[in-house]
Every structure is written in C-alpha cells, then in structure tokens.
Structure 1
Amino acid sequence: MNSDVQQIYKIKTTDKETLLKWYHLLRLGRSLDDRAPNYLKQAIGWSYHAPAAGHDAIQLAIGQVFDRTKDHLFPYYRDLQTCVSAGLTPEEIIYNGISKDTDVAGGGRHMSNHFAKPEWNIHNVSSCTGNHTLHAAGIARAIKTYESKGVAISSQGESSVSEGYVYEAINGASKEQLPVVFVFQDNGYGISVPKKDQQANRKVAKNFEGLKNLRILYCNGKDVFDSMNTMTEAVKWAEENQKPVIVHANCVRIHSHSNSDRHELYRDNAELNYVQEYDPIAKYRRLLVRYDRATEDELTAIDEQVKAEVKAAHKAGMKAPDPKPESVHDFVYAPAYQPQKFPDGLHSETSEPKKLIEGLNGTLKEEFRRNPDTYIWGQDMANKDKGGIFNVSKGMQQEFGHKRVFNGPIAEDYIMGTANGMSRFNKDIRIVVEGAEFADYFWPAMEQFVETTHEYWRTKGQFSPNITVRLASGGYIGGGLYHSQNIEGALSTLPGVRIVYPSYADDAAGLLRTSLRSEGMTLFLEPKALYNSPKAATPIPEEFEVPFGKARIRREGADLTIVTYGNTTHMCVDVAEEISKEGLAEIEVIDLRTLVPLDQETIIESIKKTSRVLVVHEDKVFGGFGGEVAATISDIAFKYLDAPIKRVGSEFTPVGFNRILEKAILPDTEKIAKAARELLAF
C-alpha cells in the first residue's frame, strides 16, 4: 500500500472525534508558536523562541503516542507542538515562554522554549543540542532493568546528530538493546548551515544503518497520517522487541531558526515560498474537508475556540508570579545524608588497619547489600577477577550480578550521560560510575558532567541526579600526562556537585557511604598513589560515616596552620612532626576531606590560634583549589593573620612522565617544609 493510499485509508477510518482533536491540537500549538515573538517585541519574555511551524505533523504524532503513565519523553527546544500534543496546557506553555515562577518545567530557571513537565515524565532537557539522547538511553536501560512497560522517546533536529554523544547514545542503545525511539526532525538546516555541509548522506539516519539491533523508519514529517502511523509502529516495536528505533521525519522549517536568526539572509524567495506551500496544518485542513470528515464551519469554530483559549492563557500568564530573587540559592544542592552514628566523622576504633582500597571496596559492597537499587559501571569495571583498573570494584560483579555491575564502553560521555538518565527512573536509585580510568581522562565527559551539576537547580528540585562519580586522581606514580594530574580546581567552579578528596582509608570509606546515601551528585576523587600505601591505612569502624563539609584535624598545633587534602596530607603531617622535633614550632594540620562544601569554621578557628596559614595541595598553585581557600581566609579571617597566606602546589606545567620531571613539578616534603619555615620566620 503506497503512502497516498495509506493516507486516504487512515483519514477515512479514523473516527471524527479524533480527527477534530488533532486539528484542535495543531491549531493550538501553531497559535502559541505564532504568538511567542510578540512577547519578545513587548519585552514581556520569550527571549528565545525556535518556531515549530513546519514540524507540526511529526510533533503531533510524538505527543499522541507518548503515554505519560509508562513512557518518558525528552523533547528538544523546537518541540512546542510535541508538548501541547502530549498534554501541556496553553497556560503551561506561556508560563515557560515568559519565565514565570509557575512554569512547570522549572519555574523560569531554564531558557524559554524548553518545555517540560517532570511529573508527567516529560523531561527538562538542556540547551546543549542532542545531549538528551544519552539520558533517554539511560532511562531506557532502567525500563529494561526493572522490566517495566513503556519506552523512552528522544526528539531532536537532524543537525544535532553530528554531536559525538548522539552516536554514543545510539551505539550504546544498540549494544544494550534498549527500548528507546530516537526521532530526527529533519528540516534541512542547522541554524543557517544546510544539511549538505553537515553530512554526506542526504538522510542522516542512513549513517546508522550498520548498527545491529537497530530499526530505522522513514516518514513524511509534514503529513499527519504518515507521521502517526510511523510513530505508532516505532513505539510498539521498541517496546515489544526491547530494542531501539530511529524515526527519520522529513519536515520543513517555515520560519527562521529562532528569533535571533534572519533566514532571508541564506534562503532565496523560491525556497521561502516552497516551505509555506508545505505547511502541514494547511494540508491537514484540506484533507479533512476534501474527504468530508469536517466542514469549513466546524474547523472555523475550532479556530475561534483556540483563539479564546490562547487569550485566556495570556491573561493567566500576565497575572502569574515572577521568580523571587532570594530563591536563587534554593535547590543548588540536593539533600545530603546526615550521619547518625558518627556525626563528626571521628572515631576511636583500634582494630587492624585496612588499606584505602579495602575501605572503598568494602563500603561499596556494604552499600550494594543495603540498597538493591544501587548500580556501578565504567571502563574495565568487571571482567572475571578484575574490578576496575585498580581493582576497587573487585568481586562486585560476582556478588551482585551483571545487571548491577557492568562494563561501559570507552565513551566517557555515555558513561556519565546514561547515569543522568537512569537516575531519573526512580528516586531510590543510586549510581556509582567510574567516570574514566584516570581523572585526567574525564574531559570527554565534561559536557555531560556540567549538565548533571545543574539538573536539580534547573528543575527547581523536581529531579535529583543521585550519582557518585569516582575518579582515580593525582600523581606520584610516574604516570605523566593523563595519568597523574588533578582536576578538582577546574571542577570546583561548578555549583551543584559536592567534591570530596580523602587521604586515609577510614575517611574514604565514610565519605563513600555518605555519598551513596545522599541525594544529588558527588565527585569522589581518590588519591591512587595511596590505594595500597601503609601510611593511608587505618582501622575502619563498622558502617563508618563522614559528613560532607567537615574537616579533620590531623595534628594539633598553635604556631602555624596547614590546610591540605589528598596525597599532600601525609607530607604535611611529616613536615609538622619534623619541625616539632626540632623544637621550632607546633604545626596544626587540617585535612579538608571535603572541598565542596568547604569547612570554613574549622579553618578559621585554627587560624585564630596560629595567626599563620599555609595552603598545600597537589594540583597547580595557579588556578588550583588552594586559591579559593586563600581568598576565603583573606575575606573572613584577615584580621587574625600575622603573615601573608602562602601556598604550595605543583608547578604551572603538565606533569612529566620521567620521574625526574615529576619530582620537579609535584610538591613534596622538602618544598612544604621550606614554605612552612619561611612563614614561621615572618
């Protein structure tokens, strides 16, 4: 049956009530879409608007096949009609467009035209085009893991498919056989860039034809019936077969890319006239009348009804409250677990010391036993007796199975992005990822990491990514570039993620337990040089807990405060002992344990005693986290200082591979002692 015959069959066999409902939704979506630029002209809002006109048919179909009781929808910024079709009211569309506090997507915290309703599984997605494909794959993994009904639906423009993480998402969904439908709305342009400058194939879906387990469907995205048939088939097939589908829908973009674009600068009059002629709504109206499924009067009555609805929604939008300035600090961090047995993260355990790696491995296993909704994945995570590049996860897959402990591809975006997605499925889920084998290799995942840090804030607390990102960090192993460097200085600039960096086995165990019991995201940096070091080994009490934001005084003193963390903590303690034996001074050593949030109170109370402070860390001095510590001290404790704040860290170079170069670059006891003596003599 050819497409024209199918179209006639569909229009004649679909009940009239449904046909008129679709027309109503199409007109409602277009009316809101057309009205959006007026809000900008009047300085009311909608400062970003990407018109949906020309995509109406495929978007109507996406919204109609989406079942909010079981499916998960990830719309992109052009999906206004999709969200109207899925059930968002005109008021909810306008609240988002003019950034009102009543916006169900996130209370005006995210860019206009980014529609969502998390309580209905219509997810709040980023402005980074196409990155939600990874989130859709992640939640599809959860659907499959929990043997739930439904599918994930991810929608995007064809040009965003050029992004590397889109390929990672589709390849991963193919490998894992996940029930996700990837919709490509192909209008021929990426802003002003024509499709021919983006890819070799005329249809971008053809780029994926070699992937196993993947079905690809093509449809006329300008035609309501072809779009509806194709989307219905795609969702049904993905759910029944538990495999991914791509729907490639040909559309037209009737207007400019957005309100900041002028398409007449790169499209000629013939093309502009052509896209107007292929208006999906005009075509649908003609078909309804031609095949006697509706009269002109009936359709005009719907048009008038839509005008009234939009007018009423506008009035509601004008009356709706704006976000309050004082709310900006709400929902930056999700609630952290508050330790009960060890509220200060201190103990007097005297049992046999355990290595830092043993503390991590043991705590992971204990928490996996405690919460069956806990998962871990990453590169080299589980293959026979190996558990991670450093064996931190050794024995976990054997005990907890392949569904909870598994290998990820060498695709850091996929590892991080699917964690974001899977955590959306259930608030009880806790995810641990080895974001990369070494912290230095984490940079490919940075877009996904940044995205995840502001999910809780952006959704106004409606979604919390409950994820612990483990990274083996630091040097002193002769690893050189990509195996010996620190990244906490750069990542601490991002609000929304807690950062911990333990120095001893007990703190590593306690902080990991707190991370896994908390909501929100924690970056867990592990000094790999200390994994098996005897000096980092300590007794670990049963179910030891360490609160976030609580430093630990490793050595008390009255003459100088050293603030440190990670590998350099042990060096600072050694220096303090050496200077004490000389009778020169008693140095207090503060092990931060948590960088974000920072324990300012412990630092300031120590400086009140000592009047001198040395900040030491392994990372570079320039741009390192110590600069923030020093600035904080200068801001709130300057009056207690009798000497300048001094810092010790790495040279402002990469870390060299040759041990001679490494020693010249990284801090050591000699460099720390020299700085301490200078401060004491000031």
Structure 2
Amino acid sequence: MAEITYRQALHDTLREELLRDENVFLIGEEIGRFEGSYKITAGLLQEFGPKRVVDTPICENGFVGLAIGAAMLGLRPIVEIMTINFIALAMDEIVNHAAKIYYMFGGQCPVPLVIRTPGGGGQQLSATHSQNLEVWFAHVPGLKVVAPSTPADARGLLRTAVRDDNPVLFLENLALYNTRGEVPDGDYTIPFGKARVMKEGHDLTIISYSRMAVVALDVARRLEQERQLSVEVVDVRSLRPLDHETIVNSVKKTNRAIIFEEDWRSYGVGAELAATLQEEAFDYLDAPIQRVAGAEVPLPYSKPLEQAALPSARQLVEAVDRLAIRKRRVVYA
C-alpha cells in the first residue's frame, strides 16, 4: 500500500470516480481554475473540463439546490462547500429537500448527492470559520454523515458515498489534510455504519471520530508505553448510521468509557454516544462515562485562547486519570 496524505487520498478518489462514471461531476466555489481552497480538486478541471468540474458563484443555497435537482434526474453530483461554516446558507436545501425526497417519493427518486466540507478549529480562523456542526445533520433522518480520520478511511468512505443513492455529508477536518497514512489500492470501499477499533485494549475505551480520533490514538499509545495502561480506541467514522455494536461491545469489555470530540459538549455527538452506552451497556459500566469536548464559547481568534478552548491531549489524560487505576502519571504540554 502506498503512503499518501489525506488530501491526496481525496483527490485520487474523486478522479477515479470521475473516470469510472460519466454521471459523476464536481460543483462548488473555486474548485476549477483555482483548484479548490485546499487543492483537493487540483488538475481536475484541465482533465475533465468545465461540464464535469463546475465553478459556481458564492451562493451555497443555489448550487446545492442545483445539485439536488441533478441528482434527482440521475446524475451523481459531488458538492464542495468551502467550509462547514458556510453550510448554514444551504440548510433548507439539505434538510428540507435532499434528506426527504427519497422517502417522500416512496423510494422512486433517489438523491445520490455527496456534500464534502471541511471543519474544525486550531487554524486561527476565528469563531465563524472554526466550527464543528456535524450534529445538526446527524440528527436528520434521510442524511448519511461520515467523518474519516485517516487517508485510508477518507478514500474508502468517499468512494462509498459517491456510489450511495442517498445524500451523504462527508466531513473533513482542516488539520488532517497533510496527515499521512497507508491507503489500499484498487476499488477500496468502507461500508457506512461500521466503526473501527484503532487500537485494542482492556482497561478503558476512548470513543472518538475525525481529528480527535488521531489525538486519542496517540494518547493511548503513550499511556501504554509510559503507564502500562491498556486503552482501546474506537473511531466512530460513521455518525449516521451509527455502529452501536462495536461501541457497546468495546465498553462491555473495558467497563469504562471516555468520549472525546472537538465540537461543543452540550447536545453534541458525544451526548448521543453517552445515551447509547447508558441504554445498551449500563450493567457493564464500572464508572460514569466521561466526556471531553470543546469549551462552550465561540472559538476565539487569539491563538492562546483558541488552544484553551479546544479539547486537548492533556484534558483526555485527565479524564483517563478520573477513570483508570493510576500506574504512573503522564504530563502533556
């Protein structure tokens, strides 16, 4: 397997799907001549032309609505919204139309639409450009929502999303684009609704997704080396549909759970995960479920304040300390 960046995995998968199916096309702001704000679509306009790589005005509700209509008529649009912070402008199109048409038409009119969009903080882009709004969409029946944390998962889940007949929100994280990892060759896909055990363990479980899953894995490995603490890390990957079985079975094994997420704590994805564990693994819990999430404030522009508001490895270790038998304390900067 080749080792490539998260960005390259997305680019290569888009190109391969454009080659595979002439009904696939890309649409979004500055994705053609400018090659995308994050260069995911670099070179694709030159290769496939302006009918397959469509630059749009700054009008999210307009081009998302166009893509929904195209999907209803048999095309397979992949929309790029420059950041998830701009997705609010297309909420009506996504929530009231894309999510409901397949159901309301009795399965006669699929909507094979993918909306790719990055989010997350830590880039000093301030409050209105640093959000994690995935819970808005994971709440809505009719939408599928995935959030890959590795280049391999980005490739496998994106290919699955493009071939799905339902609308899919495909969540990326700005801080992951330059991360590297091995990516399988060939027609590699990952089914929706399947979490991944990134690291096995028996003392406690950390449940996470997207960038925080990468941080959790690093913390778990260091805790094992420095404190001989065996931590299992579960990457949810698919927020809707959610893999209850893998999450619950992990906690049944370790008897302790920490939910680690970048978005705000109240009413978030972590709240749904905690409710799932309370309902399906209550008798196996030896301690209260811990949640580590972002501070409930609009993310500050100031770098020190931004870092203070984001969830950190240090906070995760402190949560571990509240649950696990102390073997040797680890201090993180």
Q: Could you say which TM-score interval applies, normalised by the shorter chain?
A: over 0.9
The answer to whether the 8 Å contact 1:354/1:540 transfers is no
What is the CA–CA distance in structure 2 between the aligned matches of 1:568 and 1:478, rounded to whole Å? 18
**Which position in structure 2 is the counterpart of 1:465?**
111
The answer to whether the 8 Å contact 2:5/2:177 transfers is yes
**Which position in structure 2 is the counterpart of 1:503?**
149
Kindly provide the amino acid, as one letter, of the partner of residue 51 in structure 2.
K
Of 309, 312, 315 in structure 2, the residue corresponding to residue 668 of structure 1 is 312
Q: Extract unaligned runs of 5+ from structure 2.
A: 327-333
The answer to whether the 8 Å contact 2:293/2:310 transfers is yes
**Which position in structure 1 is the counterpart of 2:89?**
444
1:217-262 CA-to-partner distances (Å, cap 9, x unmatched) read xxxxxxxxxxxxxxxxxxxxxxxxxxxxxxxxxxxxxxxxxxxxxx
**Which position in structure 1 is the counterpart of 2:24?**
374
What is the CA–CA distance in structure 1 between the aligned matches of 2:88 and 2:127, rounded to whole Å? 13
Q: SS at 2:129's partner residue?
A: coil
Kindly provide the amino acid, as one letter, of the partner of residue 389 in structure 1.
S
**Which position in structure 1 is the counterpart of 2:162?**
516
Q: SS at 2:318's partner residue?
A: helix
The answer to whether the 8 Å contact 1:620/1:650 transfers is yes
What is the CA–CA distance in structure 1 between the aligned matches of 2:303 and 2:322, rounded to whole Å? 27
What is the CA–CA distance in structure 2 between the aligned matches of 1:381 and 1:539, rounded to whole Å? 24
What is the CA–CA distance in structure 2 between the aligned matches of 1:444 and 1:472, rounded to whole Å? 15
Residue 389 (1) aligns with residue 37 (2): yes
Residue 359 (1) aligns with residue 5 (2): no
Q: SS at 1:354's partner residue?
A: strand
1:385-434 CA-to-partner distances (Å, cap 9, x unmatched) read x31110111111111111111111111100111111111222xx211001
What is the CA–CA distance in structure 1 between the aligned matches of 2:176 and 2:16, rounded to whole Å? 22
Which residues of 2 match residues 117-136 of structure 1 at below 5 A? none
**Which position in structure 1 is the counterpart of 2:47?**
399
Q: Looking at CA atoms only, which structure, 1 or 2, has the larger radius of gyration?
A: 1
Q: C-alpha displacement at 1:681, in angstroms?
A: 4.2
The answer to whether the 8 Å contact 2:60/2:87 transfers is yes
What is the CA–CA distance in structure 2 between the aligned matches of 1:423 and 1:372, rounded to whole Å? 13
Residue 612 (1) aligns with residue 256 (2): yes
1:315-346 CA-to-partner distances (Å, cap 9, x unmatched) read xxxxxxxxxxxxxxxxxxxxxxxxxxxxxxxx
1:466-489 CA-to-partner distances (Å, cap 9, x unmatched) read 100000111121212232110111
Q: SS at 2:127's partner residue?
A: coil
1:165-208 CA-to-partner distances (Å, cap 9, x unmatched) read xxxxxxxxxxxxxxxxxxxxxxxxxxxxxxxxxxxxxxxxxxxx
What is the CA–CA distance in structure 2 between the aligned matches of 1:358 and 1:422, rounded to whole Å? 27
Of 580, 587, 610 in structure 1, the residue corresponding to residue 231 of structure 2 is 587
What is the CA–CA distance in structure 2 between the aligned matches of 1:582 and 1:403, rounded to whole Å? 55
Of 599, 605, 609 in structure 1, the residue corresponding to residue 243 of structure 2 is 599
What is the CA–CA distance in structure 2 between the aligned matches of 1:372 and 1:539, rounded to whole Å? 25
Aligned residue pairs: how many? 325
**Which position in structure 1 is the counterpart of 2:64?**
416
**Which position in structure 1 is the counterpart of 2:331?**
none
1:574-600 CA-to-partner distances (Å, cap 9, x unmatched) read 111121112342000001111111111
Relative contact order: is structure 1 or structure 2 higher (C-alpha 8 Å, sep ≥ 6)? 2
Kindly provide the amino acid, as one letter, of the partner of residue 378 in structure 1.
G
Q: SS at 1:469's partner residue?
A: strand
1:416-474 CA-to-partner distances (Å, cap 9, x unmatched) read 11111111222xx211001x211111111101111211111111112111100000111
What is the CA–CA distance in structure 1 between the aligned matches of 2:315 and 2:125, rounded to whole Å? 21
Percent identical: 37
Q: TM (normalized to structure 1)? A: 0.47
What is the CA–CA distance in structure 1 between the aligned matches of 2:93 and 2:325, rounded to whole Å? 48
Kindly provide the amino acid, as one letter, of the partner of residue 352 in structure 1.
A
CA RMSD of aligned residues (A): 1.2
Q: SS at 2:168's partner residue?
A: strand
Kindly provide the amino acid, as one letter, of the partner of residue 76 in structure 2.
R
Q: SS at 1:619's partner residue?
A: strand
4+ runs deviating over 6 angstroms: none
Residue 680 (1) aligns with residue 327 (2): no
Q: C-alpha displacement at 1:521, in angstroms?
A: 0.5
Q: C-alpha displacement at 1:570, in angstroms?
A: 1.4
What is the CA–CA distance in structure 1 between the aligned matches of 2:278 and 2:111, rounded to whole Å? 34
What is the CA–CA distance in structure 2 between the aligned matches of 1:489 and 1:577, rounded to whole Å? 29
Which residues of 2 match residues 523-672 of structure 1 at below 5 A? 523-534=169-180, 537-672=181-316
Q: Extract unaligned runs of 5+ from structure 1.
A: 1-350
1:601-652 CA-to-partner distances (Å, cap 9, x unmatched) read 1111111110001011110111211100100110111111111111111011
What is the CA–CA distance in structure 2 between the aligned matches of 1:422 and 1:486, rounded to whole Å? 28
The answer to whether the 8 Å contact 2:9/2:183 transfers is no
What is the CA–CA distance in structure 2 between the aligned matches of 1:601 and 1:470, rounded to whole Å? 27
What is the CA–CA distance in structure 2 between the aligned matches of 1:575 and 1:590, rounded to whole Å? 13
What is the CA–CA distance in structure 1 between the aligned matches of 2:202 and 2:324, rounded to whole Å? 11
Residue 476 (1) aligns with residue 122 (2): yes
Q: SS at 2:27's partner residue?
A: strand
Kindly provide the amino acid, as one letter, of the partner of residue 423 in structure 1.
A
The answer to whether the 8 Å contact 1:438/1:482 transfers is no
What is the CA–CA distance in structure 1 between the aligned matches of 2:82 and 2:183, rounded to whole Å? 27
What is the CA–CA distance in structure 1 between the aligned matches of 2:289 and 2:136, rounded to whole Å? 21
